[in-house]
Structure 1
Amino acid sequence: MNKRSQISLINSQNWDRASGAIKFGQLYGSSIGLALAEDRMQTAVSSLVICPSSENAQIIADEINYFNQTDQIIEVFPDLEILPYDLSPPRRDIISKRSEILHKLINKEINLLVINASNLLWKLPPRDFFDSVSQQIEVGQSFSINGITEILKRSGFDRVAVVHDPGQYAVRGSIVDLYSPSEIYPIRIDLDDNHIDSIRLFDSASQLTIKQISKTWIIPANQFPRDSKAIDFFKANMRNHFEGNQMEWPLYNYIYTDPENHGVYNYLPLFYSTMSSILDFIDPSTRIFLIDDFSSSLLVFKHLIDQRFNDYQLDSQPIMHPNELFFNANKIIDDINRKNPLTIQSEKFT
């Protein structure tokens, strides 16, 4: 297959053969989405599309889905919708969707992923956290109530009286209700003598069964674990990382009961020995498309990170340095460029 046949809207005279870079210009209106959709119809290799903004990412994804004539899976990695160093937490549905996508990437279930460039800078929980915590369960499998609840705690689920939202679980006798990001509906697990007797999807409003299923996945519902071992590890790291009296730090004192409302997402690296980039979840063979000037978007976001760090120093507790919470923008730009990305823009290249 030659390069011209891969994407019919490409004009080969826009290819910069001398530098090895490939650039497609003058794709006006919805032509970018059409070109990417045509590419999906001509290759089985997965693709990553990096856009300059979340709005642009959603538009591109909608256009690809509109023109797409295959059954390949196209996803948008959602923004956290919080500013760097915000104390308010991201919405739980956003966290759940991000977990679902990361799980699918690990299992190579996404053909094309569209992201806002700023997501390249946010540090994510390590890939092996998702590998080690994710658990497939099926009818007939040996499992105890304690075994399931330990998995749920490790996966960041919150225990509640009645399950309504993603990331929640409840225990009533031999029944465990949970809302895993892997399913559209919450799950009801009925155990009989330490074996899974049935797995049912149910309606969160009426609590009535929708249908029975034979197996499902429990995947992380949050970006940090909630079990006692992980919390103790976090508290030890927080004590060792910062100077001062930890008993005066709200997050340190409320890490068991209310971490989200005390800025826990600004301290995620303290839960782990290492952190991952979204690129660590992408298959090495993935083709990367850059929409417009992604490097300028990254540098603008880097400036916002530094500005927020300087302006939002907290009296109540110390905060982590940008280098600890975010990846270096210039290094990410270099890493992307080494992967021979294809740049697409609506304007003519000069």
Structure 2
Amino acid sequence: MPEKQRYTLPTKAGDQRQLGELTGAACATLVAEIAERHVGPVVLIAPDMQNALRLHDEIRQFTDQMVMNLADWETLPYDSFSPHQEIISSRLSTLYQLPSMQRGVLIVPVNTLMQRVCPHSYLHGHALVMKKGQRLSRDALRAQLDSAGYRHVDQVMEHGEYATRGALLDLFPMGSEQPYRLDFFDDEIDSLRLFDADTQRTLEEVEVINLLPAHEFPTDKAAIELFRSQWRDTFEVKRDAEHVYQQVSKGTLPAGIEYWQPLFFSEPLPPLFSYFPANTLVVNTGSLETSAERFQADTLARFENRGVDPMRPLLPPEALWLRVDELFSELKRWPRLQLKTDHLPEKAANTNLGFQKLPDLAIQAQQKAPLDALRKFLESFSGPVIFSVESEGRREALGELLARIKIAPKRILRLDEAQDAGRYLMIGAAEHGFIDTQRNLALICESDLLGERVARRRQDSRRTINPDTLIRNLAELHVGQPVVHLEHGVGRYAGMTTLEAGGIKGEYLMLTYANDAKLYVPVSSLHLISRYAGGAEENAPLHKLGGDAWSRAGKKRRKKYAMWRRNCWIFMRNGRQKRDLPLSTTASITSYSATASRLKRRPIRHRRLTPY
């Protein structure tokens, strides 16, 4: 997007400026513009994770610069379960890259910014580079992997695992999107290849791989001894086998060990700010102070409520998170730009950019002229108008709809291609549009036309589980506990077992169903299992494996939905007949609206929901 020098960027530490009158996706376009203009990385602070994810998708629509998120642990403070391995992998990758980041945008919610992190010296000191032709003993590599916290398994399925078979070593490095297969010839790496974790089939060859530690803290013998020493200095030691101290002493990392992370380091954990390059520009949206104070209060409340368990004594919040005053003290060390929705008072540090909300352009399918509001707006607006949709299919659908009011938008890839007073159509994730009065430009999104958020059609029909019932760690299960399998319904957890499939041994969860039927679920498919949340455990049903009780419940829901759609169509048809509105117009609008609106976005999670 061409820069018109409408505002000045802060450049010195402690220099603060504000930009006002921002609405809809204007914030995303502005951050993209800033990233193109600023010679250095831009750290965007969002009020919460939901806004961080939305901004990530929107900003990518408007810039070719790198846009990253620092993943949240997706656990509440002092939770008794650990983040998923994919989350840790994503975090380690981002933290490793951040100090050398030259351009681009890092988006981080306030609570993640307040979280203390491992020292960067730990990541760099424990990173390993392996190349084709490199001389490396397999035994030495296994020792390094064990020391870095990697788990030796029979079949590699997720991050932080490795497996050995003869001259082959399979490895899923933290920070990598795919696992690798190393083929050794004596003590030399003969080949490095990617492979598919689901099919175990070897893919293309690569020349080098980077290996990051498996955790955000060290797990070697020295680190374990340091943990034990600092635990004894801080807490009372219990002899119970389930006590955190005893488990770590035996080399077992209990669920939620991340909340004792400081005990694995000899120095206090540094803030995330210590990773920022010197030329970083900090940008924030929303009320930073309000969000920070709310998170601090929530953290303190969790500490006071959960700190009474002698088996899991807690470190004070200040050991794990910055206080609000510490957060703002750190912010003063960087140039900062605040983005506001309101009109700002006239001051040297303030600039109002004149973005306005769109008028009501919602398609009124029940009216005789459903697109009348949009047509009138387009006739009166003299500048370029860009329509934004989220997929190629919906681009086609909206194009056909606009053709009914004689609008033929030109397809573009970037916002800066809209130069003259034309009508344009692009693919992107922007939720709500705006009018840029200073540039005489309008952006119209699908939600502006349909009256609600619509999202990209998923590439498959995956379903998701209520996050409150997700089982994130095997330690959360006990024998006899009722659990729900996404495909097979309610059964009982019967423990773990080792089975051989395709010549490869693996760990499986054993679930029992009615008539003593058993279902074996790979540990890698733990995400398909959730806790039973339908009432008391003793009253939980026991479904028949392969029966129709579970599928019948789903069919009943789908039948109700189909009936609702049929009633809507009858209502629309009757209304059309009364007004003599052409069927094609009403059908097109109704079909588009119904199809798009039922594809509402679910909260994005880092966990893949793939069938086993």
Q: CA deviation at 1:116?
A: 0.3
Please report the RMSD computed on the Cα atoms of aligned residues, expressed in angstroms: 2.3
Larger Rg: 2
Any residues of structure 2 matched to 1:1-350 within 5 Å, and which?
8=4, 10=6, 20-68=15-63, 70=64, 72-108=65-101, 111-245=104-238, 247=240, 250-255=243-248, 256=250, 258-261=252-255, 263-274=256-267, 275-313=269-307, 314-350=309-345
| 8 A Cα contact 1:133 1:151, kept in partner | no
Q: CA deviation at 1:334?
A: 1.8
Q: CA deviation at 1:165?
A: 0.4
TM-score after normalising by structure 1: 0.90
Change (3 A) 1:226 1:338: closer
- The number of residue pairs the alignment matches comes to 339
Aligned-partner SS, 1:267: helix
Query: 1 or 2 for the larger relative contact order (CA 8 Å, sep ≥6)?
Result: 1
CA deviation digits over 1:16-35, x for unaligned, max 9?
Answer: xxx94200011111001001
Change (3 A) 1:128 1:11: closer
| 8 A Cα contact 2:67 2:105, kept in partner | yes
Aligned-partner SS, 1:23: strand
Aligned-partner SS, 2:289: helix
| 8 A Cα contact 1:6 1:42, kept in partner | no
| 8 A Cα contact 2:151 2:161, kept in partner | yes
Q: Which whole-Å CA distance do the structure 2 matches of 1:7 and 1:22 have between them? A: 18
CA deviation digits over 1:52-93, x for unaligned, max 9?
Answer: 11111111111110111x3x2110111111111101111111
Q: CA deviation at 1:296?
A: 1.6
Q: Which whole-Å CA distance do the structure 1 matches of 2:292 and 2:72 have between them? A: 14
> Where does the alignment leave 5 or more consecutive residues of structure 1 unmatched?
none
Residue type at the aligned position of 1:214: E
Q: Which whole-Å CA distance do the structure 1 matches of 2:241 and 2:312 have between them? A: 7
CA deviation digits over 1:288-320, x for unaligned, max 9?
Answer: 101121122111111111100101121323211
Q: CA deviation at 1:192?
A: 1.8
Aligned-partner SS, 1:141: coil
Q: Which whole-Å CA distance do the structure 2 matches of 1:212 and 1:182 have between them? A: 18
Residue type at the aligned position of 1:271: F
Residue type at the aligned position of 1:344: L
Residue type at the aligned position of 1:38: E
CA deviation digits over 1:157-210, x for unaligned, max 9?
Answer: 222111000111112233221111332110111222211111111000111111
Change (3 A) 1:191 1:233: farther
* Range 195-204 or range 314-323, more displaced: 314-323
Aligned-partner SS, 1:288: strand
Aligned-partner SS, 1:82: coil
Aligned-partner SS, 1:283: coil
Change (3 A) 1:286 1:154: farther
Residue type at the aligned position of 1:231: I
| 8 A Cα contact 1:84 1:305, kept in partner | yes
Residue type at the aligned position of 1:31: A
Change (3 A) 1:6 1:119: farther
Q: Which whole-Å CA distance do the structure 1 matches of 2:168 and 2:224 have between them? A: 27
| 8 A Cα contact 2:235 2:313, kept in partner | yes
* Range 329-338 or range 27-36, more displaced: 329-338
Q: Which whole-Å CA distance do the structure 1 matches of 2:239 and 2:272 have between them? A: 32
Q: CA deviation at 1:239?
A: 2.0
Change (3 A) 1:298 1:246: farther
* Range 91-100 or range 174-183, more displaced: 174-183
| 8 A Cα contact 1:133 1:154, kept in partner | no
> Where does the alignment leave 5 or more consecutive residues of structure 2 unmatched?
346-612
| 8 A Cα contact 1:135 1:219, kept in partner | yes
Q: Which whole-Å CA distance do the structure 2 matches of 1:39 and 1:20 have between them? A: 16
Aligned-partner SS, 1:217: strand
Change (3 A) 1:6 1:227: farther
Q: CA deviation at 1:8?
A: 4.5
Q: Which whole-Å CA distance do the structure 2 matches of 1:221 and 1:312 have between them? A: 27
Change (3 A) 1:155 1:329: farther
Change (3 A) 1:148 1:108: farther
Q: Which whole-Å CA distance do the structure 2 matches of 1:174 and 1:213 have between them? A: 18
TM-score after normalising by structure 2: 0.53
Q: Which whole-Å CA distance do the structure 1 matches of 2:16 and 2:201 have between them? A: 56
| 8 A Cα contact 1:249 1:317, kept in partner | no
Q: CA deviation at 1:147?
A: 2.2
Aligned-partner SS, 1:230: helix
* Range 106-115 or range 334-343, more displaced: 106-115
| 8 A Cα contact 2:183 2:189, kept in partner | yes
Q: Which whole-Å CA distance do the structure 2 matches of 1:9 and 1:36 have between them? A: 14
